Amino acid sequence: MHRVLLAWLGNTDLGAAQGDVRAGDGPIGQALLAREFEHLVILNDQPADASADYVKWLKKKVSTEVHLRPAKLSSPTHYGEIYKAATEAVAWSLGEFGKGAKLTFHLSPGTPAMASIWIIVAMTRFEADLIESSLKAGVRTAEVPFELAAELIPSVVRRTEAELEKLGEGFLPDAPEFSDIKHRSDVMKRLIARAEQTAHYNVPVLIQGESGTGKELLARAIHKSGARAKHAFIAVNCGAIPRELVESEFFGHRKGAFTGADRDRTGHFEAASGGTLFLDEIGELPLDAQARLLRAIQEKKIVRVGDSQARPVDVRIISATNRSLLHEVGQGRFREDLFFRLAILVLQIPALRERHGDIGLILDGFLARLNAEAGNGRVQKKLSPAARNLLINHPWPGNVRELEGTLWRAFVWGKGPSIDADAVRESLFDGSPVRSDGVLARPLGDGFSLEKIIAEVARHYVARALHESNNNKTQAAKLIGFSSYQRLKGWIAKYRVEA
């Protein structure tokens, strides 16, 4: 197991390298001489020449491998930039030295703001020891009181951490209609910014993303933020409509049009007229239904089943899918003309595992709601730091929907006012759902290429192994059953896999 020390390069360290006797060996040098570390990761906002001279000086005193990571800050007290640099350095270290690496954060070098961020990161994101040093007291473990870890730090995070990554990024504040979408990650900031722009244009929108990522939540926010907000938002699960009832569901029917039609019925298009029609899982519609849907969208008119009169409708179409509709078009399962009619503005919702920094915010929102629903007569529950870390670091193949269900189980089954890590482990599902794109059932001939399919599968699993191992290639090789790191490198090169 690699022992890794992470620290900012401070003025006292530079003074030590320049022979200032008042600085001694400096906080970093003092720590390396007092304790054993295989690796030192230095976050550096100092001038390049000064930092290079420091590293040369330090290597003469210790055998620890030194890794210098530049981190340009507009100010040494800019919490947002410090937080981003610190978390990126930790993620890099885990990728380079393995998830099992023993991390230690040094609080003494740098500014008080840097020390504060190390404490927040250790308490909320990454498991790490904290140390501090001085000429008089030497090097010692920094003890963070349990009350601070369990009570103060989470409240600080809820209040300010959402702003840490946002400061200096230039993102405009989110519109209030999007406030239900809890996020702080850059990838979600970009998505929300695009969605806000999308809301003001009366053209179709296609939302793509894995199941459980919140496609309907985003669609509702777009609707509420646009000019149609005062009119209806009608959500339709296209995969739940029986083939024989598709036309009646969408366009309505007249009484007596078919067996069981005992009264006139208004279809979804008429019900949503003036507002938004949300077509969830649009890829599930059969081809003949797709043709009728395309005609209604193009002509902005519908005809009820059993009627001959065309009725004008004014709806904005927002559709959603967990499939690749372009792939479905290529396989002949989705109409190309309908795809290009629906995909005017396309939004891709990232999987929860790709939304770095968002899980803590989402957990806080869910937990507040669960406590509110439990009522005042019940004990208000909190997540223990260990339980919180376990939830934050889980891959969540079922995305936000799986996270919510897991927290529900842990909340209900957990004993006492604190939900501990054991309650969370018992609430997690074993294994991951198996997703298949029909790789074993593709038709032969007509452009079929076995080499392309093998390359597609290879890229998928190699990229997935790199992701799950935080780009630790030795561990990634083991995950996919390779006997050596060199063989994995060959596959990465052959199939052009990006880390």
- Domain of 372, CATH number, reads 1.10.8.60
pTM above 0.85, yes or no: no
Residue 377 sits in the same domain as residue 475: no
Q: Are residues 329 and 363 in the same domain?
A: no
pLDDT band at 119, cuts 50/70/90? confident
Tell me: the pLDDT tens digits for 330-364? Answer: 889 999 999 999 999 999 999 998 888 899 899 99
Q: Which one of 283, 318, 348 terminates a domain?
A: 348
Q: Does 269 lie in the same domain as 120?
A: no
| Type of residue numbered 468 | E
Question: With left for phi above 0 and alpha for psi between -120 and 50, is residue 403 left, alpha or beta?
Answer: alpha
Range(s) of the domain holding residue 258: 176-348
> Do 340 and 273 lie in a common domain?
yes
Asked, for residue 272, whether it belongs to a domain, the answer is: yes
Residue 337: CB atoms within 10 A of its CB come to: 12
Together in a domain, 189 and 159: no
What's the pLDDT at 299?
93
Tell me what pLDDT residue 427 has. Answer: 92
Q: Is residue 127 part of a domain?
A: yes
Partnered with residue 207 across adjacent β-strands are 320, 347
Q: In what order do the strands lie in the sheet with 65-70?
A: 65-70, 39-44, 3-8, 102-106, 129-134, 138-141
Residues 124 and 73 in one domain: yes
Alpha helices (H) in 125-171, listed in sequence order = 146-147, 153-156, 162-164
Number of domains observed in the structure of the chain: 4
Percent of the chain with pLDDT over 70: 89
Residues 291 and 377 in one domain: no
**Strand ranges inside 228-267, DSSP E:** 233-237, 252-253, 265-266
Residue where a domain stops, chosen among 348, 368, 389: 348
**CATH number for the domain that contains residue 28:** 3.40.50.10770
Q: 206 in a domain, yes or no?
A: yes
16-52 pLDDT, tens digit each? 999 888 888 999 999 999 999 999 999 999 888 889 9
Do 324 and 367 reside in the same domain of the chain?
no
Assess whether 155 and 219 both reside in one domain. no
Is the pLDDT at 144 greater than 70? The verdict is: no
